[in-house]
C-alpha cells in the first residue's frame, strides 16, 4: 500500500467519515477512498476500515489484537467491500475475520480478537528518553523548508493536508538520506478532538496512523526511502496489540526499530506511548523492500 492519502476540507472530519462504513448486509460493509488521484489505497485506511467492520459485529468488547495481510494493491477509484466472518463468540473473547474485496478478488484480510474488559497483572517496557513535542518541528514545517528541493511532479502530493499531525524526533533528509541506525521516533496525534469515550474509534484511528512511517524504518541503514526511490516498497503484513486506553487527540510517541532486513523484505517493530510514558499499543510490520535505481538525487 502507499503513503497516507490527502483530505480536502477538514482532515479529521473527512477521516472519521471515511471510517463510517455503509452497511449493505448483516455482515457486509462498503468503504470508500478519497478522490485524490493517488494510484493505490493507503494501507492504514484498509486496516482501519476493516477494524471498523469487525467492530460493527461486536458488542461490549474491546479489540486487543489484530493481524492483517496485504494481498493486492487497492484501487481507490472503486468501493471496497468488507465481509465479516463471525468466527467465534465466547464468554470472554470474540474472534472476527474480515476480507476486503475489489474487482472480485481479495486485496486484504484481517483477523481481530476482542475481549470483555477485565483486570490482571501489569508491567510494561519504559518509554525511550526523547525530546517532547513542544521542542520539535512538525512534519508540515519540515516539508515547507524542503519544498524547493522537491520535483514539481511530486509537490502536490508532498504538500497535501493530513489528518494526523507528526513531529519526528530525529528528522531524516528527504533527498539523499544518510545511512543511519534502524531506529525512528515520532510524536503523532489527530489534528482535532475525537470523542474520548468512543474507544473503538480511537483504536481505528490509531490503526490508521500506525502504518505511517513504520516501513521506512528498515530503509535507514541503506540510505534510501520511498520519496527519492532506490527501493520498491509495499506493506506485506501488519499486526497490532492494544494494551491500555488512550486519547489520540493528545500526543503519542511512536518508537520504531527494524531488527532485520533480508530476502527483499524489511521487518519493523513499534511501541506507542502517551506523553506520561504509558505503553498503550505495540505494532509489527514486514514489507517488501526491493532495491531499485534512485529516481531523484541532489
Of the candidates 211, 216, 247, 257, the residue annotated as catalytic is: 211
DSSP letter, residue 217 = G
Position 146 confidence tier, pLDDT thresholds 50, 70, 90: low
Whole-angstrom Cα distance, residue 19 to residue 32?
Answer: 9
Q: Which of 33, 235, 239, 258 is catalytic?
A: 235
Contact 285, 238 (CB under 8 A): yes
Calculate the CA 103 to chain-centre distance: 24
Q: How far apart, in whole angstroms, are the C-alpha atoms of residue 122 and residue 14?
A: 37
The kind and range of the H/E element at 9 are none
What percent of the chain shows pLDDT beyond 70? 88
Q: Which residue in the list 102, 185, 210, 285 is annotated as catalytic?
A: 285
235 is catalytic: yes
**Whole-number Å distance between alpha carbons of 97 and 87:** 7
Checking if the pLDDT of 224 tops 50, the result is: yes
Give the per-residue pLDDT at 215. 95
- Overall average pLDDT of the 170-194 stretch: 90
195 is catalytic: no
Domains of the chain: 11-116+135-294 (2.40.160.210)
* Nearest CA-CA partner of 115 in 134, 95, 143: 95
pTM beyond 0.85, yes or no: yes
Beta-carbon contacts of 131 under 8 Å, excluding residues fewer than 6 positions away, are 169
Residue 196, class by beta-carbon neighbours within 10 Å (0-12 exposed, 13-18 middle, 19+ buried)? Answer: middle
* Rounded-to-integer distance, Cα 200 and Cα 19, Å: 11
Q: Judge whether 176 counts as a catalytic residue.
A: no
Amino acid at each position: 500500500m502507499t503513503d497516507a492519502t490527502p483530505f480536502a476540507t477538514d482532515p479529521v472530519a473527512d477521516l472519521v467519515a471515511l471510517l463510517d462504513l455503509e452497511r449493505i448486509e448483516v455482515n457486509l460493509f462498503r468503504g470508500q477512498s478519497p478522490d485524490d488521484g493517488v494510484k493505490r489505497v493507503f494501507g492504514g485506511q484498509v486496516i482501519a476500515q476493516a477494524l471498523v467492520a469487525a467492530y460493527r459485529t461486536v458488542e461490549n468488547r474491546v479489540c486487543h489484537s489484530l493481524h492483517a495481510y496485504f494481498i493486492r494493491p487497492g484501487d481507490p477509484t472503486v468501493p471496497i467491500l468488507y465481509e465479516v466472518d463471525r468466527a467465534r463468540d465466547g464468554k470472554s473473547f470474540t474472534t472476527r475475520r474480515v476480507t476486503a474485496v475489489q474487482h472480485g478478488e481479495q486485496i486484504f484480510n484481517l483477523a481481530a480478537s476482542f475481549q470483555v474488559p477485565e483486570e490482571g497483572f501489569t508491567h510494561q517496557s519504559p518509554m525511550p528518553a526523547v525530546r517532547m513535542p513542544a521542542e520539535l518541528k512538525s512534519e508540515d514545517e519540515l516539508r515547507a523548508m524542503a519544498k524547493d528541493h522537491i520535483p514539481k511532479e511530486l509537490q502536490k502530493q508532498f504538500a497535501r493536508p493530513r489528518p494526523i499531525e507528526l513531529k519526528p524526533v530525529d528528522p531524516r533528509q528527504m533527498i539523499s538520506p544518510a545511512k543511519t541506525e534502524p531506529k525512528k521516533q515520532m510524536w503523532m496525534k489527530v489534528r482535532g478532538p475525537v470523542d474520548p469515550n468512543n474507544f473503538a474509534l480511537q483504536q481505528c484511528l490509531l490503526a490508521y496512523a500506525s502504518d505511517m512511517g513504520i516501513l521506512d524504518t528498515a530503509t535507514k541503514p541503506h540510505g534510501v526511502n520511498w520519496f527519492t526511490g532506490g527501493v520498491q516498497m509495499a506493506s506485506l503484513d501488519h499486526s497490532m496489540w492494544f494494551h491500555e486506553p488512550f486519547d489520540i487527540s493528545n500526543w503519542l510517541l511512536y518508537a520504531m526499530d527494524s531488527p532485520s532486513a533480508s530476502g527483499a523484505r524489511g521487518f519493523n517493530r513499534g511501541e506507542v506511548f502517551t506523553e506520561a510514558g504509558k505503553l498503550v499499543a505495540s505494532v509489527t510490520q514486514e514489507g517488501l523492500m526491493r532495491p531499485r535505481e534512485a529516481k531523484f538525487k541532489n
